[in-house]
Amino acid sequence: MRQISLYSTTAFIALTGAATAQELAFTLDPIYVNSAARSERLVLDTPVAVSTLSGEALANRQAGDFQELIGDMPGVTIGGGPRAIALEPNIRGFTDDQIVLRFDGGRFNFNQGHRGRFFLDPALVKRVEVVRGGGSTLYGSGALGGVISVETVDADDLLEEGRTMGARVGMGYSTNGGQWRANTAVYADWGAWDALLFLGTRDTSGNYAAGGGEEIPFSALDQQNGMIKLGFEPSADSRIEFSFSDYHDSALTLASANGAPSGSNPEVDRDASEQSFRLSWEFDPEGNDAVDLSVLFYGDRLKITEDRVSAPRHDETTYDSLGLEVTNRARLTLGVPVEIVYGLELFRESQEGTRDGAARSTFPPASAMTTGVFAEATFELSPQFDVIAGLRYDVYEREPGDATLEDVREEFFSPRIGVSYRPTENWQVFANLSRAYRAPSLSELYNDGLHFPGNPFGFPPDNFFVPNPDLKPEESTQFEIGTRFEQGGLRRADDKLSFSVSLYNAEVKNYIEQTVDIFAGTTTSSNVDGRLWGLEAEARYDTAAWFVGGGLSIARGEGADGDPLASIPQDRVTLEAGYRPADDWLFGAKATLAAEQNRVPAGGAVGESWETLDIYAAWTPDSAGMAGSSLRIGIDNLFDRHYTIYPNELPQAGRSLEVSATFTF
């Protein structure tokens, strides 16, 4: 109770202090989203649950990984921490590749147990959109839980007005783990051409310490990330862009990077490299409502090498993907105004694992091809009332490298119907009914070989993967209803109030569950049925002098047998307040409170409740010669709370002083 009281006091100081603040120059721009409908829309015209994070709100987090970057957004949890190489997303209890990850538009499907899905320096991120709920109508396989769309910085984001060239240098330090970070970006815009080069490094010299000082073993990590972007605009209505990213990390860690040390979880010397490219063409001719075309060709290659420390063993894991997306947006009149988004998507994946140069059955050679076509139309039946109807058809094929295993070919339809009602210009009520699916991953279908060794004295025995090429795709029928409100000038000319609430229910058929049978010595994936439901809310009141906001996430889930699902996160509340005594100063505090998670599978460990408080300050001068520069300081986990984010096995980092600075030239 003492800590909760301190949280309240912090917020009270921020709010009461604001009452005497001077009037500041302040503009609250409308918020647009793109990923929710594959077209740019105002949030109040978006008929799904979606949240965004960009600009100052991102920078003030001084994030060292994606848990710190987006892990407190409503409905979102980042599992596998605190080791950055093991982080995986969770939305509403849907996890890993039940969520579509998109980086600059290209999807990244890699998923291998305990090895994470985020290979990008947070310093490159300019914006994150999270669409919660079934999104297969537009995004196909994997969008059971939703979509996380990450956009990286462009030259246009960094250049000061009136300049054609510039540079930004950033540096920072975190006391917990002794992480030094530095990055440099140079950029230019010569009219038809623009370019950006980014180089960044993060060196965590020691292990993190949990609250109270307990060391978190194998949490040190070195990372490097470089990116180049080139843009060309041959005309006012056309843009071609190419980008290439090269990411590396290295660490002494564990074979199961999200677990604790044990005899079955040996130490490994790990190196990972991920290269990706994006080639896009945007064509939006002025005065032509039938054409707003986007074409994206993309590819990724991920290679992870792990050398076992206790005995000679060299593992290599390679994952490749290529994809093509063609999307067009058209505005027509068919008795009523209609906006149509339609297109096609193709992506091919292949994987291979070796051990000491020979094929590794726990990551068997296999390939996958998915082809999808989609269309979604928004019918404006009146200025206040829209009906949204969509359909997607996918065909996916899986080919194992083992001739004794069967190929897989399936098809899936993903329909959606929704409504959006605007009773006033400030209110929206929306509802959706949709089907979503996820095709089984190559590992779930074809994994074979030793999972983990048993007791040399006989029990438990060695545990082996059992392939199951008969796995069916996960299917869900999801219903959601929600409301939003957004209004400026509510109590004063410079204020803005916004909030949203959504309720959802997802009936899941053929949920893919991995079962470990200790007595039989087997691990296999099988299909079960389940249900997930819950509530999310977020609110924010912002003025020139101060702001206050918060978020609420309540999730439930159980299998057909009534046993709770292990992936359901804790109920959570976030509260944040900030005070701006001048245009270029900000002081803020953020509290997070998570409830005990006692709805766990039989024999599962209960997740303990926890509370944390972070405080921060930022100085962002706009004077001549200093514009675009900043100095930030913060203390994460101020009270050094020892806590674990359910269902992680390891505690999170304790108190840490964070300092960072950026300078532009």
Which pTM does this prediction carry? 0.92
Burial class for 621, CB neighbours closer than 10 Å (0-12, 13-18, 19+): middle
3-class secondary structure, 163: coil
Q: Are 88 and 104 in contact (CB under 8 A)?
A: no
Alpha carbons 218 and 82: distance in angstroms, whole number: 10
Whether residue 6 is predicted with pLDDT greater than 70 in this model: the reply is: no
pLDDT at 459: 79
pLDDT at 114: 75
Q: Are 470 and 411 in contact (CB under 8 A)?
A: no
Sign of the C-alpha dihedral computed for residues 233, 234, 237 and 242 taken in this order: negative
Q: Which helix (DSSP H) or strand (DSSP E) does residue 10 occupy?
A: helix 2-18
Q: pLDDT by residue (tens digit) across 549-575? A: 999 999 999 999 899 998 999 999 999
Alpha carbons 145 and 536: distance in angstroms, whole number: 14
CA 57 to chain centre: 16
For 9, half-sphere exposure in the C-beta direction (CA atoms, 13 angstrom radius) is 6
**Secondary structure (H, E, C), 628-639:** CCEEEEEEECCC
Task: For residue 352, list its beta bridge partners.
Answer: 318
Alpha carbons 287 and 22: distance in angstroms, whole number: 45
pLDDT at 363: 82
pLDDT at 3: 44
pLDDT at 28: 62
Alpha carbons 449 and 465: distance in angstroms, whole number: 5
Query: What does the DSSP 8-state code read for residue 86?
Result: G
CB atoms within 10 A of CB 258: 24
Q: pLDDT by residue (tens digit) across 217-254? A: 999 999 999 999 999 999 999 999 999 999 999 999 99
Q: pLDDT by residue (tens digit) across 354-373? A: 999 998 887 889 999 999 99
Alpha carbons 581 and 583: distance in angstroms, whole number: 7
Most confident option among 32-41, 257-266, 380-389: 380-389
- Computed over every residue of the chain, the mean pLDDT equals 91
Q: How far apart are the first and last CA of the chain?
A: 48
DSSP E strand stretches across 356-426: 358-359, 366-380, 385-400, 408-421
Task: For residue 308, list its beta bridge partners.
Answer: 268
Share of the chain above pLDDT 70, in %: 96
pLDDT at 207: 95
In sequence order, what are the residues at sequence separation of 6 or more whose Cβ sits closer than 8 angstroms to the Cβ of residue 638? 612, 613, 614, 615, 655
Cis peptide bond N-terminal to 383, omega within 30:
no
DSSP E strand stretches across 145-266: 146-152, 165-174, 179-189, 193-204, 222-235, 238-254
Whether residue 10 is predicted with pLDDT greater than 80 in this model: the reply is: no
Q: Are 345 and 374 in contact (CB under 8 A)?
A: yes
Whether residue 5 is predicted with pLDDT greater than 70 in this model: the reply is: no
Q: pLDDT by residue (tens digit) across 368-381? A: 999 999 999 999 99
- Topology annotation, domain 2-664: Maltoporin; Chain A (2.40.170)
Q: Which helix (DSSP H) or strand (DSSP E) does residue 4 occupy?
A: helix 2-18
Q: Are 319 and 110 in contact (CB under 8 A)?
A: yes
Alpha carbons 278 and 18: distance in angstroms, whole number: 45
Cα–Cα distance list, 650 to 87, 216, 631, 645 (Å) = 12, 8, 32, 8
pLDDT at 331: 96
pLDDT classification of 441: cutoffs 50, 70, 90: confident
Q: Are 650 and 260 in contact (CB under 8 A)?
A: yes
pLDDT at 27: 57
Alpha carbons 68 and 73: distance in angstroms, whole number: 10
Whether residue 610 is predicted with pLDDT greater than 70 in this model: the reply is: yes
> Which of 71, 49, 54, 65 lies closest to 128 in space, CA to CA?
54
Of 162-176, 510-524, 582-596, minimum mean pLDDT range: 510-524
> Which of 84, 81, 103 lies closest to 148 in space, CA to CA?
103
Of 107-121, 298-312, 415-429, 443-457, minimum mean pLDDT range: 443-457
Whether residue 538 is predicted with pLDDT greater than 90 in this model: the reply is: yes
Alpha carbons 272 and 280: distance in angstroms, whole number: 27
Whether residue 4 is predicted with pLDDT greater than 80 in this model: the reply is: no
Alpha carbons 134 and 443: distance in angstroms, whole number: 23
Alpha carbons 49 and 482: distance in angstroms, whole number: 8
Alpha carbons 351 and 402: distance in angstroms, whole number: 13
pLDDT at 25: 46
Rg (CA), the chain: 25
Average pLDDT over residues 280-306: 97
Whether residue 24 is predicted with pLDDT greater than 50 in this model: the reply is: no
pLDDT at 307: 96
Q: pLDDT by residue (tens digit) across 190-214? A: 999 999 999 999 999 899 999 999 9
Q: Are 538 and 554 in contact (CB under 8 A)?
A: no
Average pLDDT over residues 134-161: 94
3-class secondary structure, 426: coil
Share of the chain above pLDDT 90, in %: 73
Spans of all domains in the chain: 2-664
Q: pLDDT by residue (tens digit) across 51-87? A: 999 988 999 999 999 999 999 999 999 998 899 999 9
